[in-house]
Structure 1
Amino acid sequence: MANIVDRIWRHAGTDPDRIALRTTTEDLTYGELARRAAIFGGQLRRSGVAVGDRVVLIAPTRPEFVIAYLGAHLAGAIVVTMNTMATVPEIDWVLADSEAALIIEWHTGTAAATAAGARGIRHEVLAPGVGLAAEDPLPEPVSRALGDTAVLLYTSGTTGKPKGVELTIANLTHTAEVYIEQLELRLDDRMGTGLPLFHVFGQAVALLTALNLGCPFSLLEGFTPASMLDLIRDHRLTVVAGVPTMWSAMLHADGDYGPDDLRSLRLAASGGAVLRQDLVQAFSERFGCRLVQGYGLTESTGAATYMALDRQYPPGSVGQALPDTDIEVRATDGAALPVGAVGEIFLRGPSVMKGYWRRPDANAVDLYQGWLKTGDLGLLDLDGCLFIVDRLKDLIIRGGYNVYPSEVEEVLYGHPDIAAVAVLGVPDERYGEEVAAAVVTRPGGSLTAEEIRAWAKERLSAYKVPHRFVFVDELPLGPTGKVLKRAVDRTGLLATNSEG
């Protein structure tokens, strides 16, 4: 029997004065974190929350999120974390699909209260000072089975309605254990992030890894490049978790930040999207720190591959399979492909989800004989290093030729006047699909479609060169900074002709 807070509970008993959480204004020890979580968990139990009930939590990256999150687990609830920018319809869907018993919302929000009221579901406000009331705490974590669902994380829903990913106590525990080993973490490490904790990367890979180990974990609410760099410097962080857009923003931050400011930082751990090689090199040169990356999905608890620290990897690789994880690249008929061939990535291992919440139809498709069908395209080399080519759904088929948007984006990002770009396919009468690009230029830059096309023609095969362009002020981003291609306004791309 187990609970995901078991190790945190032990840390609180053996070394209660050790720092658990830090912000720019306060520190919270393991003893205090456990006490406040136990008080909050006791409140939930007394209010009628039973073991296995779904509790929706919507809160920013703050200690109060962690207190409520751990308190709900202590009480045996299944925690459903959601984006703080979620709208009423989005929240309504999750409340209905999960059959939630309770929704907890940060005190500055209003959408959850509206959705809960319409559904007749109890709503509670989470505010600073949670867990400080003089009330009876839970005496110990509720014991559950390792295979029990611990969290439901709803996928972004690129097609159809979002699905709830069931991650178990075993999934979360194994992910923490494997990253403690893979990142060579020690008790004297000081970890931190500006990632949202409602997302699998911030929650499972970063937060729970640090707390399971028992080291301090610094939280930054509202990432900005300067505030993240200041946090690393002031808290003398040794390991930081982030996504490529964060590293890029930090690299281009105003000020004279350099290796002396980040001399404590030994490792920047990246996920969420594939790193560009120029970013890896430039970040390491400016800050004197190794930037490594891994690959994982919500459905695999954020864990599939990572880069061992004692070896170098070929450019573009996201590392090798984590211990006890198997990776295969398969053709459309499900047959395993040879080394170097591009196909869909399949995963098998202890971090792979239990399944989609009450979706046997989706499970039958995406979980087959113990393998997770990822929807990502990639290839393996002779050493088992994985290269992500693109999302299967993002693949552009132009006149019968496969075009991988990430390859085109990598080339366009090399242009000195392009700050951001999203390459996608749009309908075309002649070719079926045409390669299109939404481009954000750097401040003061002046670019035309013809200039970009000329740049691309020197570096790409003709069928891969974008033929339709639109210039925008910004691209829509998801909670981890990944470009949301489905949200890119395609009106301008559809309006342009094949010459731009």
Structure 2
Amino acid sequence: MPNLASLLVDTAARLPRRPAVVLDDTVLSYAELDDLSARAATLLRDGGVHPGDRVALIAPNVPHMPIAYYGILRSGAVVVPLNPLLTPRELAHHFQDAEVSAVVVWEAMAGACREALERLGLDVPVVELSAAGTLQRLAGVEPLAGLEQRGAQDMAVLLYTSGTTGRPKGAMLTHDNLLGNAEMVVDLFRIVPEDVFFGGLPFFHVFGQTVALNAVVAAGAAVTLLPRFAPRTVLEILERDGVTVLDGVPSMHVALLGAAGDRPVALPALRAAISGGAALPVEVLRRFEGVFGVRLYEGYGLSETSPVVSFNQLDGPVRPGSIGTAVPGARLRVLDDTGAEVPTGEVGELAVAGRYVMAGYWRNPEATAEAVRDGWFRTGDLARMDQDGCVFIVDRKKDMILRGGYNVYPREVEEALYEHPAVAEVAVVGISDEVQGQEVAAFVVLTAEAAPDGERLVPELRSWVRERVASYKRPRLYRVVDALPKGPTGKILKREVEGLV
């Protein structure tokens, strides 16, 4: 019977001396990671954790995080990965909703964690991870023999969504969901033990967890960690550690271009870059490939789909602006509001079926029934599919702007603005308007060189957009801002942008 932790157990038996996790001068081999995770499993068992129990894991990308992650899985428990930046109030909601039996937390977040537990009056074991004492503590614990076997459809990870449409919901990802997605990613990007992945995507999020952790471990490759994203530090790590695959979200790629100054960067080890988590502007893709000299492959996935379901694949058609074609194990359709498939090239809601779709939302049958119908998960993303099966995301369904009876897709306007050399980042949103119902507004972050010109550039931006999009799509409001609000993975938060008006 499968257990997601078998990825580590099998690789440690096959490649015990290969480096698994790197953080500056700290290197854990697969044998060491395997051993430490087995000891962590014993620690949890001794604390009263049983198979099927939910265990919260709150940590940045440090070596202790994968030790605890695989330790929880080995014990047969369910990992509940949480953002280390959550407040005690937010943590309390997650602890209560998941009915956690234990909490594993990095030392810097331990105070907020204990405050959350006190609010609930909840008495559960708290395992505090620390740079100084954790590894020594584990050395005194006997490793758990083998690993707890689980059913393919048993829950491995309870992953809470970002909550952009209300309170976060817990997506129940099974051992089979995550095993299948990790193994598919290995094949998709031909990951080999000699590869070194960049580990700046947070492991508490499904993108980093699958692509930069589980797939890396499945292949016996290495991941070099960065607990907090800093673009200049990333450039140093890419060169120092011989990173071969750079994975990130669009805002990370934009930041790296800024750090590089749009000048060519020589990274002979780098063979590919990956983008996901949000729409990748075509102009950013072109600039990135010009600066770093490698292909930047855009893909698509969601928390509810483990996550990867489509990609511009190494052997398939690569089309700028597209999220590529369905990956093995996933099926994609574009549906109208009645659930019927739309003709090729027309816009509808993207739906996903196949091995990677979650088992449902934790203790929320109504939300599950709304999201998954006849085995198809409704993504909430508007898309079109061409004759070759390449999918183009038009926009989030909820982000579409209805201006005077016309549909305006923010991404189309954003793409036009990204082509302007002074624009570093942009978010286009709809704001209330008594006459039109909604009006189009653009919030722009300028490049370092253009920033001193500030609002004086707005007339130029208006003229630029006027030449590129129809009149009903053009922003009536432009606002130059220092930064755009982002979530923990760097995704621009449109709802918070609307609050900047």
With the length of structure 1 as denominator, give the TM-score of the two structures.
Answer: 0.95
Paired residue type of 2:454: S
Can you list the C-alpha shifts for 1:318-351, whole angstroms capped at 9, x where unaligned?
Answer: 1100012111111111111010000100000111
Give secondary structure in 2 for the equivalent of 1:355.
coil
**What CA deviation, in whole Å up to 9, does each residue of 1:109-129 have, x standing for no partner?**
221111012221423311124
Change (3 A) 1:426 1:300: same
Are 2:436 and 1:431 equivalent residues in the alignment? yes
Tell whether the 8 Å contact from 1:88 to 1:112 is kept in structure 2 after alignment: yes
Paired residue for 1:408?
A: 413
Q: Matched residue of 2:452: which SS?
A: coil
Residue 111 of structure 1 aligns with an amino acid whose one-letter code is A
Q: For residue 174 of structure 2, what is the aligned residue in structure 1?
A: 168
Partner-residue secondary structure (3-state), 2:301:
coil
Gaps of 5+ in 2: none
2:471 is equivalent to residue 471 of structure 1: no
Report what 1:85 is aligned to: 85
**Does 1:238 pair with 2:209?**
no
Q: State the alpha-carbon separation in 2 of the partners of residues 471 and 233 from structure 1.
A: 34
Report the secondary structure of 2:237's partner residue. Answer: helix
- Distance in 2, matches of 1:16 and 1:257, equals 40
Instruction: Kindly state the Cα deviation for residue 240 of structure 1 after the two structures are TM-superposed.
Output: 1.8
> Which residue in 2 is equivalent to 1:205?
211
CA distance in 2, matches of 1:56, 1:7: 21
**Is 191-200 or 377-386 further displaced after alignment?**
191-200
Does 2:462 align with 1:462?
A: no
Q: Is the 8 A contact 1:397 1:403 kept in 2?
A: yes
Equivalent residues of 2:418, 2:426 under 8 A apart? yes
Task: Find the counterpart in structure 1 of residue 462 from structure 2.
Answer: 453
More divergent stretch after superposition (284-293 vs 348-357): 284-293
The answer on whether the counterparts of 2:178 and 2:210 sit within 8 Å (CA) in structure 1 is yes
Instruction: Give yes or no for contact 1:175–1:204 (8 Å, CA) kept in 2.
Output: yes
- Superposed, 1:50-449 pairs within 5 Å as 50-109=50-109, 110-119=111-120, 120-122=122-124, 123-128=126-131, 129-131=133-135, 132-254=138-260, 258-260=264-266, 262-442=267-447, 443-448=451-456, 449=458
1:496 equivalent in structure 2: none
Question: Which one-letter code corresponds to 2:107 in the other structure?
Answer: H
Q: Is the Cα contact below 8 Å between 2:17 and 2:30 reproduced in 1?
A: yes
Cα deviation code 1:475-496 (max 9, x no counterpart): 11111111111112535x3xxx
How many residues get paired? Answer: 491
Change (3 A) 1:333 1:302: same
What is the rounded CA distance, in whole Å, between the counterparts of 2:353 and 2:347 in structure 1?
Answer: 19
**TM-score of the aligned structures, taking structure 2 as reference length:** 0.95
Q: Structure 1 pair 256/341, CA: closer, same or farther in 2 (3 Å)?
A: closer
Q: How many angstroms does 1:432 deviate by?
A: 0.8
**C-alpha distance 383-256 of structure 1, shift in aligned 2 (>3 A):** closer
Contact 2:317-2:324 within 8 A present in 1 as well: no
Code of the aligned partner of 1:243: V
Give the counterpart letter for 1:115 in structure 2.
A
Task: State the secondary structure of the residue aligned to 2:95.
Answer: helix
CA–CA separation in structure 2 for the residues paired with 1:374 and 1:17: 41
Distance 1:236 1:478, change over 3 A: same
How far apart in 1 are the matches of 2:396 and 2:261?
36
- Distance apart, 1:370 and its partner CA: 0.6
- The aligned amino acid for 2:117 is A
Structure-1 separation of matches of 2:264 and 2:419: 23
How far does residue 307 in structure 1 lie from its aligned partner after superposition? Answer: 1.5
